[in-house]
Amino acid sequence: MQTIKELFGTAKPIIALLHFRELPGDPGYRAGQKLEELVACAREELHALQDGGVDGILFSNEFSFPYLDHLEHVTTAAMAYIIGRLKEEIRVPFGVHAISDPMATIELAAAVEAQFVRSVFAGGYVGESGIRSKNAGEYVRKKKELRMDDLLMFYMINAESDGDLSGRSLEVVAQATVFKCQPAGLCISGIHAGEDADTDLLQKIRAAAPGTAVFSNTGTRKENVAEKLKHCDGAFVGTSFKKEGKFENFADRERVEEFMAAVRACRGSL
């Protein structure tokens, strides 16, 4: 399997989130809306992110509120359709995340030939969607069944606003995940999109799981990226790339360029 550096072509990659707007099957998808509108929006954001200099892109159904543990097929199909329409324009490594549904994430990755995935692949959590239980064994076996040996799996080991039911410290969760699942990387989140992943926690997880990449999963901004990258191996970035740094807005190329300039300025000293 290729390494993170081999895939992204750099140490400490910045992976941009491309948030699909409400999709067919989602409560917010408007009557009479055309899927071509979503393709056009995604295309514009794709070019803003790529041209701004990011190292990779993760496509996700971020606006499918409230999320489902088992995504409806129409929504997964819509994600695949949009990515397929954009495929020839994608110039950087790309991945997928069907939020809250790891099996759909793996299957979607196979359908669009994604190179990496991110999800909550393991553990038990409770939150606004009730109790969720994820069995990594099922998803790793599906990956093997679909012959995606080179697919990198990034494990979100604290599920943003949901609470872990195991009672274990996150350091123990990290160690167990590495031992049993051999993830490409561990993702550490704040309480929701745009909220800081605690720097002290990034340090603790990196110390607890030496040899495994640790990513800042939320809240990395131009102002704090140098500090974050001292203590982790890369970042997934969404909200910071959007106009005015607001979650509901679209990606802004100028903000992406400024962010990536800050990354390049600090990479050489890390």
Neighbouring-strand partners of residue 59: 18, 96
Give the percent of the chain with pLDDT over 90: 90
pLDDT at 192: 67
Q: Is the model's pLDDT at 140 over the cut of 80? A: yes
Please give the C-alpha separations between residue 102 and each of 13, 172, 232, in angstroms, as whole numbers.
Answer: 23, 22, 24
Amino acid at 224: N
Calculate what percentage of the chain has a pLDDT beyond 70: 99
Mean pLDDT for 40-54 is 98
CB 28: neighbour CB atoms within 10 A? Answer: 11
Q: Is pLDDT of 129 > 90?
A: no
Residue type, 96: V
Whether 163 shows a pLDDT value over 80: the answer reads yes
Per the listing, tokens 């290729």 go with 2
Provide the 8-state DSSP code for 238: S
Output the pLDDT for position 41.
98
Task: State the pLDDT at residue 155.
Answer: 98
Helix (H, G, I), strand (E, B) or coil at 64: coil
Residue 101 to residue 120: CA distance in whole angstroms: 8
Residue 238 reports pLDDT greater than 70: yes
Q: Identify the band that residue 159 occupies on the pLDDT scale cut at 50, 70 and 90.
A: confident
Give the CATH architecture of domain 4-267: Alpha-Beta Barrel (3.20)
Exposed, middle or buried: residue 173 (CB in 10 Å: 0-12, 13-18, 19+)?
buried
Rg (CA), the chain: 17
Express each pLDDT in 239-270 by its tens digit: 999 999 999 999 999 999 999 999 999 987 87
What distance in Å separates the CA atoms of residue 137 and residue 75, rounded to the nearest whole number? 24
| pLDDT of the residue at 115 | 98
pLDDT, tens only, 180-200 = 999 999 999 986 666 788 899
What beta strand segments (E) does the chain contain? Answer: 14-19, 56-60, 94-97, 116-119, 123-127, 130-134, 152-156, 163-164, 185-188, 213-216, 235-237
pLDDT per position as a tens digit, 84-114: 999 999 999 999 999 999 999 999 999 999 9
Mean pLDDT of the region 67-96 = 97
pLDDT at residue 162 greater than cutoff 90? no
